[in-house]
Amino acid sequence: MPTPMHHPEQRLRIRELTDADAEALLAFEIENREWFESHIEAREPGFYSPQGVSDHIQDYLSRFSTGTWHPFVIEDASTRIVGRANLKNIHTPPNAAEVGYRIARDAGGQGLATRALNHLIEQARERWELTQLIAYVYQENVGSAKVLDRCGFTLAAENENPTGSARRFVRSL
């Protein structure tokens, strides 16, 4: 029997986003802005302010209360936000949702994205009773494609790709 390996990510916590996260979330987003923008679409400049992030959180929590989004943050042992994970557009199409995640540059390579995605899969299945998850990843974002593959997602047929430059991955639950 193999001996269990100790991984730093075991001290991480994935929890729902709250109003109290505004300051820590703004710091996380500013610190990683350039890194994220090299992999995903850039946010509006107004987002990167206390009011911008506060409005963003309110929007996400409002969508959570109506059952269309489920936003999470990932914290390290010192409660610093090192990542985010969301179920988006829940039940659009029926019984499906889109997954999204972003991990701090300095927290990459530790399995956080895989752990976050597995958390979303579990939430989608147990809390939302979904049967399919969808993810969109830019061609250049090889790391994210590997995470999706590792978590059981498969690349959809080209004609099922409505977003142009992003590739569509799907996973049945």
Host domain of residue 161:
8-172
Q: Provide the pLDDT for residue 3.
A: 36
Q: Provide the pLDDT for residue 159.
A: 57
Q: Provide the pLDDT for residue 9.
A: 43
Bond from prior residue into 50 cis (ω within 30 degrees of 0): no
d(CA 58, CA 49): 14
Mean pLDDT, all residues of the chain:
89
Alpha-carbon dihedral angle through residues 93, 101, 34, 104, given to the nearest 10 degrees: 170
Within a domain: 81 = yes
This prediction has a pTM of: 0.88
Q: Provide the pLDDT for residue 123.
A: 97
Q: Provide the pLDDT for residue 140.
A: 82
Indicate if the pLDDT at residue 7 is higher than 50. Answer: no
Higher per-residue confidence, 117 vs 157: 117
As for how many domains the chain has, the answer is 1
Within a domain: 2 = no
pLDDT digits (tens, 9 = 90+) for 10-46: 588 999 999 999 999 999 999 999 988 887 788 998 9
